A and B are shown apart, each in its own frame.
Chain A
Amino acid sequence: MTDQFEPTIIGFTCNWCSYRASDLAGTARMKYAPNVKLIRLMCSGRLDPTFVLRALSSGADGVMITGCHPGECHYIEQNYKALRRFLLLRRVLNGLGIEPERVKLVWASAAEGARFAAETTAFVEEIRKLGPLNWGKADDGPQATDHDQPSFAHGKEMEVPA
């Protein structure tokens, strides 16, 4: 247990379902892997793919995106948009030479604390198997220029219109 690789993972959660699922996992004192640090968004549809790239390039080994189950979006259907972006994002990662498995999409309703916990632990193990992603870690330091000025404008190909 001592020397194994502990991945750093950023989790994007939707305010209505998956963040509440993680609340529920907490209230129920379910234990899961501590490697995922969460960022709360109002909706998985808010997830800008640059956030994922930013996380991966800043030292994260994986990114977990969680949202409401299809058909259960608080905002009616925005999680479908998240799904489309996720699929596209995996293709982009592939193009960049990064294992697409480093990004995972999980649906978890507010009642699914157990699912949230289990999926988190499972994803940590998957990333552990993939090993560290040394993108952005090598040039750690104040000189790292691109990270200070993220560009939000991105190509149209990142978006699939409804």
Chain B
Amino acid sequence: MPQMTDERVRAGLTHEEDLSLLHEVSMKTAGVSRLEMCIQCGTCGGSCPVAKDMDHTPRMLFAMLRAGMREEVLRSNTQWLCVSCYHCVVRCPQEVHIADVMYTLKGMAIKAKLYANSTAPDFSQTFVDMVESYGRSFEMGLASRHYLKHFPLRLPGMMPMGLGMITKGRMALTPKRIKHMDQLTKILNRAKQLEMTS
């Protein structure tokens, strides 16, 4: 309906409401998300330890999901700030799987390449790369690679910490690889195929 769109554009509307968004997020979430049950009470936003740094409180994000504001939702830093503390999850009176929805939104944002303001996706990717090549995570490599890329200025400040960890023998300098890396690779490759087709 081009006419309609034209009219909307003239009226100053920038995008169409994407009413399939809520369902899509719900389906992509592990377990049963219960996202449609949200009553906008704000328990999540009130419980969140990092709400003050979020673009939108989780509650607001869920309202935006309902309103089909795809781009705004995926661009939000909210999902990236989630520390997975599960305070909101156990307190939610509607048992919405909030933390798992945040994971879903991260994945969707990465795929849509809509995550302008955070270094978090990169951190996740670095972590994933590491696990996929060694089967184990490896703090030293992770932290230094991430810091070098995103916070080069902070690194010197972190030096005493890093050095302390190394001298106390708490940071492995060499990564450890699992025995059957080939098996893990096969599993993950198959899983990735399944992810694409689902």
In the complex, A touching B (Cβ < 8 A) = no
**Chain B residues close to A by CB (< 8 Å):** none
**Chain A residues close to B by CB (< 8 Å):** none
